[in-house]
Amino acid sequence: MEVRINHVAMSMSDAALDESARSDIHRFYGEVFGWTPYSPEGESGNPLVMLMSDPKLFLFVMNESEGMVAPPLDHFGIEVFDEGELDELLRLAKMFQKKDDRVRIIDKKVTRYSADASLRPDLAESSGVDLVNCYIGYLLPMMVEIQYFRY
């Protein structure tokens, strides 16, 4: 059976997810990640929904009387397939941060991992993989980790 994640859901308090915050969230994630607002028909409540690169992948933010409170490094991850794409997303977030200091960034780093050939036969011939990543957050309770795997 093959499975994949198709959405990330989190909650924010009604006060934190007011119309001004919704507008700011749409602007930031639209400008930096290219995500687009979506209004699902028949959905109860007033969730904030943003479509990611594929219409089957989306971010779903529920408004609740009390929203989730996450530690600073709680995140969800996205993968890019070119290191230049990671660099561009990071550049766009840093540009946005210059005009809005609510943007949180943990800068790009590279970590070398060895590969277990029994779990990753596609890496059996390599000496490992470099995980290139950074974290970007804005208003949402969870940050976005951007990952690129350099083989």
DSSP assignment letter at 72: T
- Dist CA 1 CA 5 (whole Å): 13
pLDDT value of position 12: 97
Q: CA angle, corner 59, sides to 30 and 73, nearest 5? A: 90
Which percentage of the chain shows pLDDT scores above 70? 97
Sign of CA dihedral 49, 50, 52, 55: positive
Q: First-to-last CA distance in the chain?
A: 27
State residue 27 phi and psi, 5-degree precision: -65, -50
* pLDDT tens-digit series, residues 49-66: 999 988 899 999 999 999
Tell me, yes or no, if the pTM score tops 0.85: yes
pLDDT value of position 131: 95
* pLDDT tens-digit series, residues 73-119: 999 999 999 999 999 999 999 999 999 999 999 999 999 988 777 77
* pLDDT tens-digit series, residues 37-53: 998 887 778 899 999 98
pLDDT value of position 124: 63
Is the CATH number of domain 7-150 2.30.300.10? no
Nearest to 140 by CA among 19, 5, 29: 29
- Dist CA 112 CA 151 (whole Å): 10
| Single-letter amino acid, residue 79 | E
The domain limits of the chain are: 7-150
pLDDT value of position 102: 98
Are 97 and 103 a contacting pair, CB within 8 Å? yes
Q: pLDDT higher for 43 or 130?
A: 130
